[in-house]
Amino acid sequence: MSTLDTTRAELALVVLYLNKAEARDKICRAIQYGSKFLSNGEPGTAQNVDKSTSLARKVFRLFKFVNDLHTLISPTPKGTPLPIILLGKSKNALLSTFLFLDQIVWLGRTGIYKNKERAELIGSISLFCWMGSSICSSLVELAELGRLSASIKKLEKELKNTDKYQNEQYCNKLKQSNDRSLALVKALMDIVVAVGLLQLAPKKVTPRVTGGFGFVSSLISCYQLLPSAPKSKAA
């Protein structure tokens, strides 16, 4: 491929990435929590960016609760243990509830919904739902990593006298393990962010800690949404 073709292909991937509403939301999330880290809860430009970006993100998430509602009622892959199924469904139910309630929070912040006290209460409930979904997600990832680890060890024994890294199934399982490890780190970070937003441990989880964890979690989300680069054809 020529330099121009390579550049065109790379720009096409960028366009594909930015065309995703989810990707734009996560970029805004990184800006939001980066600003929270810089402001540390103090009034100023960084805090204004934090608040305005937070409100803007709620527009991206309008009716997004339908996605998790659909996943909730969809069948699970065959062979999945019942505890993992229940945790996965709980995660979907909690996340769908969070996204639904978050719309009411948005209505309150824009002034459409006039009852401020109830809007704040709904906001707290929605954050508890998000924290619950993150806890369920971390437990699911831990369980799936355990299953993958056992499967990889079994495959290693079968491929003992061969180059296991040339085996497609082994490489796929390693990739799945890496992806789930990253998802676990993100879920654990989101739990800390939820604790910070709910001010459950204000002395330990300060706005700066919340912002730092949220920023890194957002970068992980941005990475997870990256499109796969097209394989170059052999000359």
Q: How far is CA 37 from CA 52, 210, 213, in A?
A: 15, 7, 9
Whether 233 is in a domain gets the answer: no
Low-confidence ranges of the chain (pLDDT < 70): 1, 228-235
What are the structure tokens assigned to 111, written together?
Answer: 């002034």
Whether 230 is in a domain gets the answer: no
Residues 66 and 92: their CA atoms lie apart, in Å, by: 10
Q: What is the pLDDT of residue 234?
A: 36
Residues 175 and 171: their CA atoms lie apart, in Å, by: 6
Whether 136 is in a domain gets the answer: yes
- Determine the structural domain holding residue 100 and report its residue range: 3-225
Residue 78 burial class via C-beta count within 10 angstroms: exposed 0-12, middle 13-18, buried 19 and up: exposed
Whether 231 is in a domain gets the answer: no
Say how many CA atoms lie within 13 Å of 42 toward its Cβ. 6
Q: How many domains does the chain have?
A: 1
Whether 95 is in a domain gets the answer: yes
pTM: 0.88
DSSP secondary-structure letter at 19? Answer: T
Whether 150 is in a domain gets the answer: yes
